Chain A
Amino acid sequence: AQKITQTQPGMFVQEKEAVTLDCTYDTSDPSYGLFWYKQPSSGEMIFLIYQGSYDQQNATEGRYSLNFQKARKSANLVISASQLGDSAMYFCAMREGAGKSTFGDGTTLTVKP
C-alpha cells in the first residue's frame, strides 16, 4: 500500500486565490513528520513546511499552511494568495525514521493570470 497519496495529478488556480493540495498518509508509527516541497521547472527541491505528529497546532510558513487532520491521516497544503511563481510540482513526504522519507507522486500546480 502507498504510504503517501496525492490524488490530484494537476491543479489550476487563479492568481491571488487560495488553493489546497491534498495529501493522505499511512503509518502505524506514532512518531512521524510530514513535509511539503516545491519543485519548479528548474528541478531543485525547495522545503516549504513541516508538521510533527505530536504538534497540536497546524504549521504555517508565510503563505503556506498545513491542514493537519491526524485522525483522517491527512496533511493538506494550503497556499494563500497564489502567485504566478507558485506554478510548480508539489510533493508531500513523510518521515518515519531519522533521515528516511517517503514521497508522494506529486501535484502539478498551474497559476493562471
Chain B
Amino acid sequence: NAGVTQTPKFQVLKTGQSMTLQCAQDMNHEYMSWYRQDPGMGLRLIHYSVGAGITDQGEVPNGYNVSRSTTEDFPLRLLSAAPSQTSVYFCASSRHVAGVETQYFGPGTRLLVL
C-alpha cells in the first residue's frame, strides 16, 4: 500500500513550457485534490475531484488543468509555466468513514520556473 505518490519530486521549467505533475493513490479514495504551497504560507487549493470524471476549481485554478479518468490517478497540467508558479505542489486523497475524515498527502513536487 503506497498511499499517495507524486512524480517528479523536483522539476525545473523554463517560462512557457508545459508539463504534467502525476499523482496516484491506491486506497480507493473518492476525493482527490491539488494544492500549492508558497514559502512561509499555508496550502491553497488548485483543483479537486469528488470522483472519476468529476473535477472542479479551487481557490487558485488559473494556469492549471486537471482530469480524473480513473479513481486512482489525478494529474495536474501546467499549460504555459510562469515564474509565479514556482511552488511546492501537494496532491491529496481523502475518505470519510463513520463520521471521521482523513486526508492523506503525497510527498510533494518542488517546481522551479525560470
Alpha-carbon separation in the docked complex, A100 to B55 (Å): 11
Binds A, one of B12-20, B77-85, B100-108: B100-108
Closest to A108 in B: B40
Closest to B32 in A: A99
A side interface size, CB within 8 A: 25
Q: Are B42 and A52 in contact (CB under 8 A)?
A: no
Alpha-carbon separation in the docked complex, A44 to B4 (Å): 12
B52 at the interface (CB under 8 A from A): no
Q: In the complex where A98-B31, A98-B50 touch, is A103 in contact with B88 (Cβ < 8 A)? A: no
A91 at the interface (CB under 8 A from B): yes
Q: Are A99 and B100 in contact (CB under 8 A)?
A: no
Q: Are B45 and A50 in contact (CB under 8 A)?
A: no
Among A37, A50, A103, the residue within 8 A (CB) of B101 is: A50
Interface centre among A33, A43, A47, A101 (most CB of B within 10 A): A101
Can you give 8 contacting A-B residue pairs, CB < 8 Å? Answer: A4-B42, A33-B101, A35-B103, A47-B105, A50-B102, A52-B100, A93-B43, A99-B49
